[in-house]
Amino acid sequence: MLSYRHAFHAGNHADMLKHLVLSLCADYLTRKDKPLVYVDTHAGAGAYRLSAAQAQKTKEFETGIARLLKADRVPVEVQGFLDVLTGTGLDLNELYPGSPTIAASQLSPDHRLQLFELHPNDFPALERHFHGDRRVRCYQRDGFEGLLSAMPPKERRALVLIDPPYEQKSDYDQVADTLATVTRKFQPVCALVWYPIVQRERSDTLVRKLKKLSKNWLQAELNVSEDSSGYGMTGSGMFVLNPPYLLAEQLQRCLPWLTRQLAPEGFYRLDNKAD
């Protein structure tokens, strides 16, 4: 099934959480002058025009990136994230960068990016977006299979983002199964898993499985409303396997502020385990 298009949701509250965590992890991993590969299993189109029909139909960016751009007294972690977005070179009032664009702006010329996207419309856009960037390889293939083929990386350091649309129930099991195989092939991987909160039992089951894969993990959620099965996505979460040691402290400082900005009646969750 290839009906999901991120253009309808670009720049929304879920993107704010996902991309904040991604940028914080990328910032930490790029502090060392060592080889690194970034792997994105569902890379999308690379960037999204906010004036396009898809984005205008939902206007989800208005309660996401638009609020952050207007905010005052921004925490240093969120300001750093906004600086990363600005560093992509895009006019954030017109275009919102996807995950691979954010990562690419933080990685050095010696790092690699492997981007997987199966959708027949998004993949050509992804290729055009990264045309001329020698660090980047785009593949029109299943992202789960692509990730497994990329492990273990020759660099021995990897930042991975797994964020399928979860349109099919099987996506939840496939995420857990794929990451279990990845950790067997390359245990030190820093893997970021995004998940929607639509039916709480499903997302909690996924997280329980992921927690068994490592003694080092972090879970962060931003909920814009109370759980309510059958009424769409009420929030989203990020599960990080082998997170940077600073990440929990950084999110503890900025996640309450982020929640107040994006969802005054919402709530957040932050949990972690470090061996």
User: Residue 93's domain is classified under what CATH number?
Assistant: 3.40.50.150
Beta carbons within 8 Å of 117's beta carbon, 6+ residues apart: 42, 43, 44, 45, 123, 126, 138, 139, 140, 143
pLDDT value at residue 51: 86
What is the pTM for the complete model shown? Answer: 0.96
Cα angle vertex 261, ends 31, 162, to 5°?
Answer: 50
> CA-to-CA distance for 106 and 143, rounded, in angstroms?
22
Instruction: Please indicate, yes or no, if residue 84 is contained in any of the structural domains.
Output: yes
Q: How far, in whole angstroms, is CA 90 from its chain's centroid?
A: 18
Which residues form the domain of 88? Answer: 6-273
**Adjacency order of strands within the sheet including 217-223:** 136-139, 112-116, 37-40, 158-162, 190-197, 235-241, 217-223, 267-273
Query: Quick count: other Cβ atoms within 10 Å of Cβ 1?
Result: 8
Q: How many domains does the chain have?
A: 1
pLDDT value at residue 2: 56
pLDDT value at residue 62: 87
Q: Tell me the residue length of the chain.
A: 275
Residues 106/84, Cβ–Cβ less than 8 Å: yes
Q: In 3D, which of 4, 29, 12, 3 has the Cα closest to residue 161?
A: 29
Instruction: Please indicate, yes or no, if residue 254 is contained in any of the structural domains.
Output: yes
Question: What would the pLDDT profile of 35-77 be if each residue is shown by its tens digit?
Answer: 999 999 999 999 999 988 887 887 888 888 999 999 999 999 9
Beta carbons within 8 Å of 260's beta carbon, 6+ residues apart: none
pLDDT value at residue 10: 87
Tell me, yes or no, if 163 is annotated catalytic.
yes
Instruction: Please indicate, yes or no, if residue 1 is contained in any of the structural domains.
Output: no
Instruction: Give the Å distances, CA to CA, from 264 to 19, 27, 78, 268.
Output: 20, 28, 17, 11
Residues forming beta bridges with residue 137, ordered by sequence position: 114
- Identify the burial level of 76 via C-beta atoms within 10 angstroms of its C-beta, where 0-12 means exposed, 13-18 middle and 19 or more buried: exposed
Q: Which of 83, 163, 173, 275 is catalytic?
A: 163
Parts of the chain with a pLDDT under 70: 1-5, 229-231
